[in-house]
């Protein structure tokens, strides 16, 4: 299974897009999800999510990578829906009544329809936020990211911290799988535990070796990079030549237009 942040070498319109256009898409996505959220924001978020889904489809990213993202987030989604269901202050249509425990304006014993809906809005908001960056890094080679960020005068160290973090995610996925297997061999089966048990006790035997191993690997990475001149006080050569084509401007115009539309709908 390929890790979610790994670049996929394909030739699609999204892969060919200028990195700046894709960076603009990530930026606008983040701005959109930063707007104060309301119950009625679902349609705006769904418009942007639909656009993101279209980009994923055009980029021919396998569905399994998206489902992997969903699997990572599913626990958070359940938590948000339940918490909002019980505690949303604007909730007045009971869905499930377990009892009554008034705390300020909320009745903590009742799951309300409005609360569940608001929880769903938050889930979609998270999904919108988390689907843009993977699309960017899965369709843009690291060297192009570095060149694009260099042209934006982002310091090389910051750029490389970003791209090496991406390399590390691949490694973390591989190590995570190996550690889970190693602990299963000692009858510690994290997959068969329920959500609560996992959250309470399951992660220590997984995360402790992961952190210790990452420290070690980070050291090796540092050696590999610095012995190849990384950090030299020299202006690095740009390997990728990035040129903007008319189609890039069209995509950019579309993204800006969609963002403006969503903003207008949000504040209208």
Partner 1 sequence: MAKDVAISLQDVTFTYEGDVVALRNLNLTAHKGEFVVVLGANGAGKSTLCYLLSGIVPHIYGGRRRGHVSAAGLDPWDEPLYVTSQHCGVLMQDPEVQLFMPTLKAELAFGPANLGMPRHEIIRRSQAALALVRLEGLEEHNPRDLSGGQKQRAALAAVLTMNPRVLVLDEPTSQLDPLGRWEVVEAIERLKQKGDLTIVMTTHETEEILRLADQILVLEQGETVLQGTPSEVFTQAARLEKVGVKTPALILAQSKLCKREASSPGEQQVTFTIPEVAGQIHESIEASRLVVRPDALPRPQRAALDAPVILEARHLTVEYPGPPRVVALRDVDVQIRRGEFVGIVGQNGSGKSTLVKCFVGLLRPKKGEILFKGESIRKLSVGDMARRVGLVLQNPDYQLFTASCQDEIRFGLRNVGVPPEEMEQRVEEALCLVGLSEEADLFPFRLSFGDRRKLAVAATMALNPQVLIMDEPTTAQDHHGRYQLAELAKRFHEEKQGTVLMITHDVDLIARYAHRLIVLREGQVLLDGPTAEVFTQADELKKSFIVPPVAVQLAAELAPLGVPAHVMTMEDLYQVLVPQRDGGEVV
Q: Does 157 bind partner 1 (CB under 8 A)?
A: no
Residues 189-218 close enough to bind partner 1 by CB under 8 A: 189, 192, 204-205, 208-209, 212-213, 216-217
- Measured from the CB atom, the residue of 146 and 262 that comes closer to partner 1 is 146
Least Å distance, CB 166 to partner 1, is 9
**Hey, what are 137's tokens?**
């890094």
Q: Does 223 bind partner 1 (CB under 8 A)?
A: yes
Tell me how many residues contact partner 1 (CB under 8 A): 55
Residues 48-77 close enough to bind partner 1 by CB under 8 A: 62, 64
Cα(146)–Cα(135) distance, integer angstroms: 16
Burial class for 198, CB neighbours closer than 10 Å (0-12, 13-18, 19+): middle
Neighbouring C-beta atoms of residue 262, cutoff 10 Å: 21
- Measured from the CB atom, the residue of 77 and 176 that comes closer to partner 1 is 176
- Three-state DSSP class for 162? helix
Span from 41-49, 65-73, 170-178, 247-255 in contact with partner 1 (CB under 8 A): 170-178
Contact between 206 and 179 (Cβ < 8 Å): yes
Residues 234-263 close enough to bind partner 1 by CB under 8 A: 234-239
Least Å distance, CB 116 to partner 1, is 35
With CA atoms as reference, report the closest residue to 120 among 87, 85, 71, 69. 85
Span from 24-32, 72-80, 108-116, 222-230 in contact with partner 1 (CB under 8 A): 222-230
Least Å distance, CB 266 to partner 1, is 36
Q: List, in sequence order, every residue forming a beta bridge with 112; answer none if it has no partner.
A: 94
Cα(16)–Cα(10) distance, integer angstroms: 9
Neighbouring C-beta atoms of residue 142, cutoff 10 Å: 17
Phi-psi region of 231 (alpha: psi -120 to 50; beta: other; left: phi over 0): left
Q: Does 219 bind partner 1 (CB under 8 A)?
A: yes
With CA atoms as reference, report the closest residue to 108 among 121, 96, 120. 96
Chain contacts with partner 1 (rule: CB under 8 A): 1-2, 6-7, 9, 62, 64, 141-143, 164, 167, 170-171, 175, 178-179, 181-189, 192, 204-205, 208-209, 212-213, 216-217, 219-232, 234-239
């Amino acid at each position: 299974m390929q890790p979610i942040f790994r670049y996929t070498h394909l030739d699609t319109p999204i892969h060919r897009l200028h990195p700046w256009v894709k960076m603009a898409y990530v930026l606008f996505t983040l701005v959109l999800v930063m707007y104060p959220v309301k119950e009625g924001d679902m349609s705006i978020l769904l418009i942007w999510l639909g656009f993101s889904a279209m980009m994923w489809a055009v980029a021919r990213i396998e569905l399994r990578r998206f489902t992997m993202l969903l699997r990572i987030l599913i626990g958070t989604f359940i938590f948000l829906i339940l918490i909002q269901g019980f505690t949303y202050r604007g909730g007045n249509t009971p869905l499930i009544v377990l009892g009554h425990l008034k705390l300020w304006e909320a009745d903590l014993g009742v799951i309300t329809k409005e609360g569940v809906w608001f929880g769903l809005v938050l889930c979609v908001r998270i999904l919108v936020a988390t689907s843009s960056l993977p699309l960017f890094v899965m369709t843009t080679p690291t060297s192009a990211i570095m060149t694009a960020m260099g042209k934006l005068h982002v310091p090389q160290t910051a750029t490389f911290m970003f791209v090496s973090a991406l390399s590390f995610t691949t490694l973390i996925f591989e190590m995570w799988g190996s550690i889970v297997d190693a602990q299963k061999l000692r009858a510690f089966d994290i997959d068969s535990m329920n959500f609560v048990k996992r959250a309470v006790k399951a992660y220590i035997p997984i995360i402790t070796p992961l952190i210790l191993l990452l420290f070690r690997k980070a050291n090796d990475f540092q050696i590999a990079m610095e012995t190849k001149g990384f950090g030299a006080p020299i202006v690095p050569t740009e390997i990728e030549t990035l040129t903007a084509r008319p189609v890039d401007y069209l995509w950019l115009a579309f993204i800006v237009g969609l963002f403006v539309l969503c903003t207008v709908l949000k504040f209208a």
